Amino acid sequence: MSHFVKSLASLRVWSTRISAHATTRQLTTASASHIPRSRVLKLNPVVLWGAASVLGVAYALHQTNKVHLEAPQAVQQQLDEEIEIDPGTSIAFPKTLQIPSKFPLPKFSLVGVGTRTVSFIGIKVYSVGFYADLNDPKLNVPLAATPEEKIEHIIRNTACVIRIVPTRNTSYTHLRDGFVRALTGRIQLEKSRGTLTPEIEFAIQSPLRKLKTLFPNAALTKGTPLDILITAPTGDQKQPRRLVFRDLGSIESDWVSEQFLLTYFEGNGISPPLKKATAERLKSFGK
């Protein structure tokens, strides 16, 4: 505003000087009839008004620019409130996830993020986010439970999502092979613990075979998310939980669905940063 006032004041001084000069010139040349009257310098009031208008517009534009400079800060603050960044890859994950579906799905809350790294060569393969329906009234997570117990309780008792975002171009078949290896490892682990009965082992063979057929021989480009959902328990043995690979297909099996997600948190987990972030988030969660 001060620049505008100074500019207008300077214009007034300039116009006064011009007017004074014009008056003096008229007095000293009045007797010179050969000089045309049109050459006598006078300042038209319209000129003054036009100059002031130009300065006013310039000031308004200056103020408008200030508003635009402030806007990105508000947008950035809103983004910070809506997303979480994986520190290992700088990949952003929404803090709430609503997956479009023909059947109703809850709104999922982000519990933790981390990076999947091939340890022996140190290559970051993908970022992974773990989501769960933390607002499920049937969840009832015990506050006194350990973070590991809370993770298992959530996976076994409500709908969950694993979101995978590749850090480099890969393929669906490459991911499929990794998933199959992980589930094969879970079978061996559960056998060693004595928790996998022959009946269950027999029952999961068909869904495992179907899982291998879901993935196309196609590329999955860098930054393209793949959402993997397990539906909530139905309480009916005739309606097992579904393991859904978004846009690819699904299989039905309580054991395969739950063990698929538990693989990410067994021991140090497929992604130790994911397990650490999830455990930290769940420390104070529960009733």
pTM of the full predicted structure?
0.72
User: Domain ends where: 82, 114, 133?
Assistant: 82
**pLDDT the model gives residue 72:** 54
Q: Are residues 124 and 244 in the same domain?
A: yes
**pLDDT the model gives residue 113:** 98
> Percent of the chain having pLDDT more than 90?
64
Domain contains 59: yes
How crowded is residue 230: how many other Cβ atoms within 10 Å of its Cβ?
24
**pLDDT the model gives residue 36:** 42
Total domains in the fold of the chain: 2
How crowded is residue 45: how many other Cβ atoms within 10 Å of its Cβ?
9
User: Domain ends where: 32, 51, 82?
Assistant: 82
Ranges under pLDDT 50 in the chain:
1-43, 45-71
Q: Which domain CATH number covers 227? A: 3.50.70.10
Distance in Å from the first CA to the final CA of the chain: 58
3-state secondary structure of 112: strand
Give me the domain span that covers residue 234.
86-282
How crowded is residue 120: how many other Cβ atoms within 10 Å of its Cβ?
6
Q: Are residues 78 and 90 in the same domain?
A: no
List Cα–Cα distances, 181 to 62, 79, 89, 178, 187, in angstroms. 62, 37, 25, 5, 10
pLDDT digits (tens, 9 = 90+) for 44-69: 544 444 444 444 444 444 444 444 44
Single out the residue of 188, 173, 147, 152 nearest to residue 245, CA to CA.
Answer: 173
Domain contains 188: yes
